[in-house]
C-alpha cells in the first residue's frame, strides 16, 4: 500500500499513532553487584551524578494494519511505513 493511499475504517485492524520508545543511557556510572554497595556509593557520593543521554529508538511512528494482515506481514510492512 502506498503511503498516500488510505484505508477505510472497516479495513483497519490496528492503528498506531505517536508511538515512541526512548532509553536513558548513563555514562561513567558506577556499577555495583550488590545492593549494599550501591546504597553506600549513593550515600558517599550524594552530589555526584552520572552523565545521562537519551537515545530514541522510535519517535512519533504511525502505521495502520489491515484486518487480513498476518503478524509476518506487519513485521515486513512497518519499516516501510515508518519511512513514508
Domain limits of the chain?
12-83
Q: Is the Cβ–Cβ distance between 23 and 55 less than 8 Å?
A: yes
The continuous run of DSSP H or E covering 64 comes out as strand 51-66
Q: Which pLDDT does position 59 carry in this prediction?
A: 94
pLDDT digits (tens, 9 = 90+) for 32-68: 788 988 888 888 877 777 788 999 999 999 988 887 7
Measure Cα distances from 65 to 26, 61, 79 in Å. Answer: 36, 13, 13
Q: Give first-to-last CA distance, the chain, whole Å.
A: 11
Q: Is the Cβ–Cβ distance between 65 and 12 less than 8 Å?
A: yes
Global pTM exceeds 0.75: no
Q: Which pLDDT does position 23 carry in this prediction?
A: 94
Amino acid at each position: 500500500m502506498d503511503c498516500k493511499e488510505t484505508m477505510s475504517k472497516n479495513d483497519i485492524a490496528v492503528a498506531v499513532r505517536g508511538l515512541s520508545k526512548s532509553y536513558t543511557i548513563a555514562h561513567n556510572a558506577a556499577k555495583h553487584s550488590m545492593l549494599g554497595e550501591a546504597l553506600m556509593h549513593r550515600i558517599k557520593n550524594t552530589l555526584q551524578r552520572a552523565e545521562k543521554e537519551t537515545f530514541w529508538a522510535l519517535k512519533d511512528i504511525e502505521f495502520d494494519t489491515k484486518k487480513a494482515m498476518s503478524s509476518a506481514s506487519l513485521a515486513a510492512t512497518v519499516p516501510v511505513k515508518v519511512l513514508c
